[in-house]
């Protein structure tokens, strides 16, 4: 061969070898150089080993793969489709592949700042807190509901991952709670959010991609099949899923003002910011007042106060049995705890809600709907397993140390407190005027004394005057509208209800006029 021809062929060969062996621009080094096995490079089914091998073969090509550029590119394209990757995303894959081995196996990531407001969480922050909710003191359903309309696809991914990760004996309740979120997960949207969230490391972005891949390709198909089988197995299971669908649809009817109010207070709570909770007393009282005003008076008239079970204690479950009331009550409790303004009512709310799923959003509403539906499974020995609820920041005990039912003589307001004085009362009573002991033994005392039953032969009706109760200091807002002559039920520092003298229909409930 002519020397010039030979030289030209050699240059072409060198250029071709350089073109197929040059590392892609997305290749990045790190602590640990990945390797590949030629035997499984194109057939490896495990996503982790497949990606490690493709990065190693692409970034550190040896003679056995140097001339396989097209085949290598085809393999990368196949995995790109499965994982929702674009070419630039392989920079994340490469960085992840170079991490130390123990840093590549975790399925959870940490939020950047656990004292950041939930409303400011990035998509990957949402994924982080929700995928790790089982190790938190806040249940995942509350957190997901807390994000509200700002819940991202990655947030849903974290919630569903947590939902399906419970080793519950009967996962039906969990499945019903996350059914709507599971059905709306989308690889394209997930990938776009991961790609756009540059607030986290490449390793965190890859963790989310790998969780999404496993969930979408392995766990969700099994979940959908299991959920279908549950519906067919027992009508009670089918009812659970129907309740979940209804809860999500009905949530659109909940007052957005109270949703926003609780969201602001959740932000104030997690950040620990005094500025964030400033002014919450007026806002939460507005919500409570609106809710109380909207409840028909006949529902309050059905509450009968008594020692040990005061009106205030019975009022809380009556109000929090629906979403708007729950949100207003929760807001009242959160604000009181943040501002140090606790009273008997906010304490009773805390005691009632700390372990109650409630209505923070459609997921907790689903749990509440199932819990209160009194569903019976066909199998007599079968039980339903519910997510555990213990929201430690909802504080209160509701212990009634002082209970008074009396007629108001006067009310004097001094700043945030009011003093209620009481009038003398005349009450009718039945008294035994004449009777006799029988021979029937009623009790034998330890010293041998024998007591016999007494039978009344003649009863008389009489009116007596009862001394008034001592004056009570109460929270002023609960005494609003009180007038002399009204009969009131007061527990600790809360005027729970006021009636017209001798009446049984409430005029005021916690100082709010009801009709």
Q: Tokens representing 53? A: 């091998």
DSSP string for residues in 86-139: -GGGHHHHHHHHTS-GGGSS-S----S-TTS-GGG--HHHHHHHHHTGGGSSS-
pLDDT for residue 4: 44
pLDDT recorded at residue 21 = 52
CB-based contact 28:98 (threshold 8 Å): yes
Report the candidate in 79, 91, 101, 77 with the shortest Cα–Cα distance to residue 23: 91
Sort residue 511 into left (φ over 0), alpha (ψ -120 to 50) or beta. Answer: left
Both structure tokens of 89: 């995303």
Give CA–CA dist 354/169, Å, rounded: 25
Give the count of beta carbons closer than 10 Å to the beta carbon of residue 289: 17
The Cα angle at residue 127 between residues 124 and 132, in degrees rounded to 5: 130
pLDDT at 14: 36
For tokens 């005029």, the residue is 507
| Inter-residue contact 473 to 493 (CB < 8 Å) | yes
Report helix, strand or coil for 170.
coil
What does DSSP assign to residue 40? T
**Per-domain residue ranges for the chain?**
20-103, 118-251, 429-464
pLDDT in tens, the chain (515 residues): 444 443 343 333 333 344 445 789 999 877 788 988 889 999 999 999 999 999 999 998 887 776 788 899 999 999 999 999 999 999 999 999 999 888 887 888 988 888 999 999 999 999 999 988 766 778 999 999 999 999 999 999 999 999 998 765 679 999 999 999 999 999 999 999 999 999 999 999 999 999 999 999 999 999 999 999 999 999 999 999 999 999 999 999 999 999 999 999 999 999 999 999 999 999 999 999 999 999 999 999 999 887 778 899 999 999 999 999 999 999 999 999 999 999 999 999 999 999 999 999 999 999 999 999 999 999 988 888 888 898 989 999 878 778 888 899 999 999 999 999 999 876 566 777 888 888 886 666 667 777 777 788 888 776 656 678 899 999 999 999 999 999 999 999 999 999 998 788 999 999 999 99
- Identify the CA nearest to 147 among candidates 309, 263, 296: 263
pLDDT for residue 395: 93
| Residue 454: alpha-carbon gap to chain centroid | 59
Other residues' Cβ atoms within 10 Å of the Cβ of residue 272: 10
Give the length of the chain.
515
Q: Which tokens go with 477?
A: 């807002």
User: What does residue 147 show for φ and ψ, rounded to 5 degrees?
Assistant: -70, -25
- Tokens representing residue 353 in the block: 């809600």
Sorted by sequence, the CB contacts under 8 Å of residue 236 that are 6+ apart come out as 375, 376, 377, 378
Angle at 210 between CA 208 and CA 212, to 5 degrees: 70
Q: Which residues contact 258 (CB under 8 A, 6 or more apart)?
A: 287, 291, 324, 327, 328, 331
- Mapped onto helix, strand or coil, the DSSP state of residue 25 is coil
Q: Which value, to the nearest 10 degrees, does the dihedral of the CA atoms of residues 379, 383, 385, 391 take?
A: 150
Residues 367, 173 contacting (CB under 8 angstroms): yes
How many Cβ atoms sit within 10 Å of the Cβ of residue 15?
9
Alpha carbons 506 and 503: distance in angstroms, whole number: 8
Compute the distance between CA of residue 149 and CA of residue 241 in angstroms, rounded to an integer: 22
Task: State the pLDDT at residue 429.
Answer: 61
- Rounded to the nearest 10°, the torsion over CA 348, 352, 355, 356 is -140
* Short-list 167, 250, 182, CA closest to 219: 182
């Amino acid at each position: 061969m002519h020397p010039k021809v030979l030289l030209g062929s050699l240059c072409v060969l060198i250029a071709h070898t350089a073109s197929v062996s040059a590392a892609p621009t997305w290749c990045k080094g790190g602590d640990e150089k990945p390797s590949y096995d030629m035997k499984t490079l194109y057939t490896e089914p495990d996503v982790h080993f497949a990606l490690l091998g493709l990065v190693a073969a692409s970034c550190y090509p040896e003679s056995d793969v140097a001339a396989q550029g097209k085949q290598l590119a085809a393999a990368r394209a196949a995995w790109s489709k499965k994982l929702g990757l674009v070419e630039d995303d392989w920079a994340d894959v490469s960085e992840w592949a170079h991490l130390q081995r123990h840093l590549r196996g975790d399925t959870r990531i940490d939020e950047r700042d656990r004292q950041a407001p939930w409303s400011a969480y990035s998509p990957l922050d949402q994924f982080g807190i929700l995928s790790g909710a089982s190790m938190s003191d806040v249940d995942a359903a509350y957190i997901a509901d807390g994000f509200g309309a700002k819940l991202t696809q990655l947030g849903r991914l974290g919630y569903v991952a947590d939902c399906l990760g419970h080793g519950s004996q009967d996962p039906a309740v969990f499945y019903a709670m996350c059914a709507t979120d599971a059905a709306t997960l989308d690889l394209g949207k997930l990938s776009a959010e991961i790609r756009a969230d540059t607030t986290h490391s490449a390793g965190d972005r890859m963790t989310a991609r790998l969780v999404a891949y496993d969930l979408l390709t392995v766990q969700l198909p099994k979940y959908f099949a299991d959920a279908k089988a549950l519906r067919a197995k027992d009508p009670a299971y089918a009812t659970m899923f129907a309740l979940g669908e209804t809860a999500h649809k009905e949530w659109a009817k909940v007052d957005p003002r109270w949703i926003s109010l609780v969201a602001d207070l959740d932000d104030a709570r997690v950040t620990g910011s005094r500025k964030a909770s400033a002014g919450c007393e007026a806002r939460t009282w507005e919500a409570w007042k609106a809710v109380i005003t909207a409840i028909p008076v006949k529902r309050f008239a059905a509450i009968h106060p008594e020692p040990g079970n005061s009106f205030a204690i019975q009022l809380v479950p009556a109000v929090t049995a629906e979403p708007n009331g729950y949100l207003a009550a929760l807001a009242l409790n959160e604000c009181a705890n943040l501002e140090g303004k606790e009273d008997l009512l906010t304490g009773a709310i805390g005691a009632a809600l700390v372990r109650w799923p409630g209505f923070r959003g459609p997921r907790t509403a689903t749990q509440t709907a199932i819990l209160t539906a009194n569903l019976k499974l066909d199998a007599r020995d079968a039980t339903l397993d519910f997510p555990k609820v213990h929201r430690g920041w909802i504080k209160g005990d509701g212990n009634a140390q002082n209970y008074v039912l009396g007629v108001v003589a006067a009310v004097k307001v001094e700043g945030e407190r009011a003093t209620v004085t009481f009038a003398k009362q005349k009450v009718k009573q039945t008294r035994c005027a004449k009777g006799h002991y029988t021979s029937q033994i009623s009790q034998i005392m330890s010293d041998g004394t024998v007591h016999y039953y007494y039978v009344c032969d003649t009863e008389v009706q009489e009116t007596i005057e009862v001394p008034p109760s001592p004056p009570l200091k109460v929270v002023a807002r609960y005494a609003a509208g009180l007038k002399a002559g009204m009969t009131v039920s007061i527990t600790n520092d809360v005027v729970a209800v006021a009636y017209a003298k001798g009446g049984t229909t409430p005029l005021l409930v916690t100082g709010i006029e009801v009709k």
